[in-house]
Structure 1
Amino acid sequence: MTDTSPISTQRDGDILIVTSDNPPVNALSAAVRTGIWQALDEAEGDDGIKAVLLICAGKTWFAGADITEFTKPPVEPLLPAMVERMEGFAKPIIAAVHGTALGGGCETALGSHYRIAVPSAKFGTPEVKLGLLPGAGGTQRLPRLVGVPLALEMTAKGDPISAKQAHEAGLVDRLAGEDSLKADALAFANEVAAARPIPRVGEKDATADAKAIEDFKAKNAKRFRGQLAPAANIDCVEAATRLPLAEGLQFERDAFMKLMFSPQSAALRHIFFAERKASKIDGIAPDIKLRKIKRVGVIGAGTMGGGISMNFLSAGIPVTIVEMKQEALDHGTGLIRKNYEATAKKGRMTEAQVEAAMGALTPTLKMEDLSDCDLIIEAVFENMDVKKEVFGKLDKIAKPGAILASNTSYLDINEIAASTSRPQDVLGLHFFSPANIMKLLEVVRGDKTANDVLATAMALAKTIRKVAVVAGVCYGFIGNRMLIPRQMEAMKLLMEGATPARVDKVHVDFGMPMGPFQMSDLAGVDIGWHRDPNRIESIRDALAAEGRWGQKKGAGFYDYDANRQPSESPRVAEIIEDFRKKSGAEQHEITDQEIIERTLYTMVNEGAKILAEGKAQRASDIDVVWVYGYGWPPYKGGPMFWAGQEGLKKIVEGLEKNGFDVAPLLREKADKGETF
Structure 2
Amino acid sequence: MSEAIAYERVGDIAVLKAQNPPVNALGVDVRKGLLAGIERAEKDGAKAVLIYGEGKTYFAGADIREFGKPPQEPWLPGLCSRIEATPLIVVSAMHGTALGGGLEVALASHYRIAVPSAKMGLPEVNLGILPGAGGTQRLPRVAGTEAALEMITTGRHISAAEALEKGIIDRIEDGAPREIGLAYAQELLAQGAPRRAVGEMPAPEAVDFDAVYEATLKKGRGQLSPAVAVRAVQAAAEAESFEAGLKRERELFMELMDSDQRQGLIHAFFSERAVSKLPELDGVASRDVASMGVIGGGTMGAGIATAALLAGLPVVLIEMTDEAVTAARGRIEGNLKGALKRGKISQAQYDQLTGEALTVAMDYAALSQVDLVVEAVFEDMGVKREVFGKLDVHCKPGAVLATNTSYLDVDEIAAATSRPQDVIGLHFFSPAHVMKLLEVVVAEKTAPEVLATGFALGKRLKKVAVRSGICDGFIGNRIMNAYRKAAEYVVLDGASPYQVDKVVTGFGFPMGPFAMGDLAGLDINWAARKRRAPTRDPRERVPRFYEMLCEGGDFGQKTGKGFYIYEDGRRGGVPNPKVAELIAKDQEQQGVTPREFSDAEVLRRYMCAMVNEAAKVVGEGIARRPLDVDMVMLFGYGFPRFWGGPLKWADLQGLDGILADIRAYAAEDGFFWQPAPLLEQLVAEGRTFDSLNKGS
TM bin, normalised by shorter chain, reads over 0.9
Residue of structure 1 in register with 2:14 after alignment: 16
CA distance, structure 1, for counterparts of residue 351 and residue 87 of structure 2: 54
CA distance, structure 1, for counterparts of residue 107 and residue 529 of structure 2: 66
1:539 and 2:545 matched: yes
Residue of structure 1 in register with 2:620 after alignment: 613
The percentage of counterpart residues that share the same residue type is 48
Residue correspondence of structure 1 range 91-102 to structure 2 within 5 A: 91-102=88-99
Q: Is the 8 A contact 1:551 1:564 kept in 2?
A: no
What is the deviation of 1:174? 1.0
Residue correspondence of structure 1 range 65-80 to structure 2 within 5 A: 65-80=62-77
Q: Is the 8 A contact 2:216 2:226 kept in 1?
A: no
Q: Deviations over 1:89-113 (max 9, x none)?
A: 2222211111111100110111111
What is the deviation of 1:218? 6.2
Shift in CA distance, 326/9, structure 1 to aligned 2, threshold 3 Å: farther
Deviates more, 1:200-209 or 1:219-228: 219-228
TM-score normalised according to structure 2 size: 0.92
What is the deviation of 1:390? 1.0
Residue of structure 2 in register with 1:398 after alignment: 395
Residue of structure 2 in register with 1:668 after alignment: 681
Residue of structure 1 in register with 2:264 after alignment: 267
TM-score normalised according to structure 1 size: 0.95
Q: Is the 8 A contact 2:480 2:610 kept in 1?
A: yes
SS across alignment from 1:292: coil
CA distance, structure 1, for counterparts of residue 485 and residue 144 of structure 2: 51
Residue correspondence of structure 1 range 149-548 to structure 2 within 5 A: 149-177=146-174, 179-194=175-190, 195-211=192-208, 213=209, 216-217=212-213, 220-243=216-239, 244-285=241-282, 287-358=283-354, 359-530=356-527, 538-548=544-554
What is the deviation of 1:19? 1.6
What is the deviation of 1:186? 2.0
CA distance, structure 1, for counterparts of residue 362 and residue 212 of structure 2: 51
CA distance, structure 2, for counterparts of residue 382 and residue 270 of structure 1: 34
Deviates more, 1:63-72 or 1:254-263: 63-72
Q: Is the 8 A contact 2:129 2:253 kept in 1?
A: yes
Q: Is the 8 A contact 2:543 2:586 kept in 1?
A: no
SS across alignment from 1:446: coil
CA distance, structure 1, for counterparts of residue 392 and residue 235 of structure 2: 66
CA distance, structure 2, for counterparts of residue 584 and residue 460 of structure 1: 52
Residue of structure 2 in register with 1:587 after alignment: 594
Q: Deviations over 1:9-61 (max 9, x none)?
A: 233333332221222221111011112122222212212x3322211122222
One-letter code aligned to 2:223: Q
What is the deviation of 1:298? 1.0
SS across alignment from 2:523: coil
What is the deviation of 1:71? 1.5
Shift in CA distance, 233/403, structure 1 to aligned 2, threshold 3 Å: same
Q: Is the 8 A contact 1:148 1:207 kept in 2?
A: yes
Q: Is the 8 A contact 1:554 1:564 kept in 2?
A: no
Deviates more, 1:270-279 or 1:32-41: 32-41
Deviates more, 1:335-344 or 1:23-32: 335-344
Q: Is the 8 A contact 1:113 1:198 kept in 2?
A: yes
Q: Deviations over 1:126-168 (max 9, x none)?
A: 0001110010000000000000111001111111111100011
Structure 2, unmatched stretches of 5+, are: 534-541, 667-672, 690-696
Q: Is the 8 A contact 2:303 2:335 kept in 1?
A: no
Count how many residue pairs are aligned between Structure 1 and Structure 2.
669
SS across alignment from 1:240: helix
Q: Deviations over 1:490-517 (max 9, x none)?
A: 2222222221112222212222212111
Q: Is the 8 A contact 2:141 2:202 kept in 1?
A: yes
SS across alignment from 2:44: coil
Shift in CA distance, 540/271, structure 1 to aligned 2, threshold 3 Å: same
SS across alignment from 2:274: helix
Residue of structure 1 in register with 2:117 after alignment: 120
One-letter code aligned to 2:351: E
SS across alignment from 2:156: coil
Shift in CA distance, 598/89, structure 1 to aligned 2, threshold 3 Å: same
Residue correspondence of structure 1 range 24-173 to structure 2 within 5 A: 24-47=22-45, 49-173=46-170
What is the deviation of 1:531? 11
Q: Is the 8 A contact 1:444 1:472 kept in 2?
A: yes
One-letter code aligned to 2:106: A
Q: Is the 8 A contact 2:203 2:237 kept in 1?
A: yes
Q: Deviations over 1:590-624 (max 9, x none)?
A: 33344234322122111111111111121011111
One-letter code aligned to 1:609: K
Q: Is the 8 A contact 1:176 1:185 kept in 2?
A: no
Structure 1, unmatched stretches of 5+, are: none
